[in-house]
């Protein structure tokens, strides 16, 4: 697999993490924006790089198990986090407070949920004899930068929709989880 194809693959794999970063960026206040842009980018980049390595070394035995349930895992995790964002958005409107942080547990769950597809990509890399170190580096780096900048873009969009930012972010995550589920079940 050539570098251009690996870059396209990395960008494709980073799309879920980018969408989540955009959604989270909508609700964050400016005072913690760069900090959480970095945290989300780092977590998403790390797991997007780690999962292909795990898939690569797990091999063909693992593909049937994961490919049968990966969409359900992503759907449930993103849906749960999305519903929590909507709930927090309602509570925030009632309390008139801004969100000053994203809990570590939430960042971890988001990073895992958005990187499950990269596990399957790693399995295919094993069959294609792709250099897994180089592929993981590209995937992780591209995901980091896209996620980082999508948090910042999300803040720009969030200022337009500030009153509904958490709600819109939650809906985005739920729709993303639904998209993943529908793609795997019907296509």
At 84 the pLDDT is 72
Q: In whole angstroms, give the CA distance from residue 184 to residue 166.
A: 27
Q: What share of residues in the chain are helix, strand, coil (percent, to 5)?
A: 90, 0, 10
State the angle between helix axes of 3-27 and 132-160 in degrees (0 to 180), rounded to the nearest 10: 30
Question: Tokens standing for 140?
Answer: 């992780």
pLDDT of residue 96: 42
Which tokens belong to 162? 């500030």
Q: What per-residue confidence (pLDDT) applies to 95?
A: 46
pLDDT tens per residue across span 38-89: 999 999 999 999 999 998 888 656 555 666 776 777 677 667 767 776 776 6
DSSP letters for 85-141: HHHHHHHHHHHT-------HHHHHHHHHHHHHHHHHHHHHHHHHT--HHHHHHHHHH
Helix 132-160 × helix 104-128 angle, to 10°: 140
What is the pTM (predicted TM-score) of this model?
0.72
Of the pLDDT bands very low, low, confident and very high (cuts 50, 70, 90), residue 97 is very low
Q: Residue 155's closest CA among 22, 17, 32, 20?
A: 22
């Amino acid at each position: 697999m050539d570098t251009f194809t690996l870059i396209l693959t990395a960008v494709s794999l980073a799309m879920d993490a980018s969408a989540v970063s955009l959604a989270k960026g909508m609700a964050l206040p400016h005072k913690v924006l760069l900090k959480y842009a970095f945290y989300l980018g780092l977590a998403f980049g790390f797991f997007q790089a780690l999962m292909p390595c795990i898939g690569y070394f797990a091999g063909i035995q693992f593909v049937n198990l994961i490919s049968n349930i990966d969409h359900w895992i992503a759907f449930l995790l993103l849906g749960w986090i999305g519903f929590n964002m909507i709930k927090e958005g309602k509570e925030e409107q009632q309390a008139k407070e801004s969100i000053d942080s994203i809990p570590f547990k939430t960042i971890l769950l988001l990073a895992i949920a958005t990187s499950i597809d990269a596990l399957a990509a790693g399995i295919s890399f094993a069959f294609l004899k792709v250099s897994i170190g180089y592929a993981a580096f590209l995937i992780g780096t591209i995901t980091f930068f896209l996620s980082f900048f999508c948090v910042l873009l999300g803040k720009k969009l969030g200022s337009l929709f500030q009153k509904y930012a958490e709600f819109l972010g939650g809906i985005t995550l739920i729709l993303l989880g639904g998209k993943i589920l529908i793609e795997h079940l019907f296509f």
